[in-house]
Structure 1
Amino acid sequence: MEFGTIEREIHIDATPEIVFQVVSSPEHIQEWWADEAELTSATPGAIGELAWGDKENPRSHVEAFTVVEADPPRRFSFSWVYDVAPTAGTSLLVTIDLVPSGNGTKLRLTESGFREKGWEIAVLEEAYREHGEGWDIFVPRLAEYAARLASTR
């Protein structure tokens, strides 16, 4: 296995404008992905934080992220999983492309940068597997949430 890039694609019964809000606004991100989400703005260079946990420790895992690109309603990308600064080779890059498709949106999510992190092979394999399994859960949740949101508008 290459462990280079994770890709997921899904059709969402919501407009690209709604889906863009769902992937770029903390109040929506908390509905389908992180337990807590903070983001100053959905603009390049903006810094945010994602947190997951349980009742005993609601912030047991926290990741900082930095918006790389925001082109509503077509693309939202961010760097995350970095120790010091989000630069090429020190972070993972998630890119979410949104394309109108019938009455909805085709969402294409790509996460890259795994090999460039310089992790030992066991760490690389585990991180790649965990992220792939995570997106298998969270991308369908995103689609369901965005469709529910669209049906209320």
Structure 2
Amino acid sequence: MEFGTIEREVYVEATPEVVFEVVSSPEHLKEWWPDDAAYDPIPGSTGEIVFGDPDGDGAVVAFAVVDARPPESFSFRWTHPADAVAAEGNSLLVTFDLTPSGGGTLLRMTETGFREMGWEVAVLEQQYREHETGWDFYLPRIAPYVARLGVQP
């Protein structure tokens, strides 16, 4: 099995402008993915996302915005050491591409960089599978969240 790229697609009944806000803004992100998020959704911005209780068994994860082209694309690097600049080889790259489709938006998520991390095969496989499981859980939460916002396509 190839542990290089994770790709998922989700259809959201909202305009690309709305979906872009939901996948790029920390206020929306924390409603469907991490428990908290702090960064500016502009290229070059750095910050963090938080899963669970950081004082308990939770995790604070470094986050760096790579590109933001509303309403077409938003990308970021994450999982790099907090004291390092995010780059290929020390972080994973997530890209959300948004395409108008019917009355809504086709959201395509791609996560790359697993092989470039230099992990041993067992660690690579474990990390890849954890991210696969994570995206399979979190991405389907976007459409219901957008529906709760009450915006029309």
TM-score range, shorter chain: over 0.9
The answer to whether the 8 A contact 1:16-1:105 is kept is: yes
SS at match of 2:85: coil
TM-score, length basis structure 2: 0.93
2:31 is aligned with 1:71 = no
Q: 1:99 maps to which residue?
A: 99
Counterpart CA distance in 2 for 1:23 and 1:13 is 14
Q: 2:48 maps to which residue?
A: 49
Counterpart CA distance in 2 for 1:26 and 1:127 is 24
TM-fit CA distance, 1:60: 1.8
CA deviation profile, 1:10-49 (whole Å, cap 9, x unmatched): 110111111111111111111000001111x211100121
- How many residues were matched structurally? 151
Counterpart CA distance in 1 for 2:149 and 2:80 is 32
SS at match of 1:89: coil
Cα RMSD after superposing both structures: 1.8
Counterpart CA distance in 1 for 2:9 and 2:121 is 27
TM-fit CA distance, 1:102: 1.2
Counterpart CA distance in 2 for 1:45 and 1:60 is 26
TM-fit CA distance, 1:152: 7.3
Gaps of 5+ in 1: none
Gaps of 5+ in 2: none
2:110 is aligned with 1:110 = yes
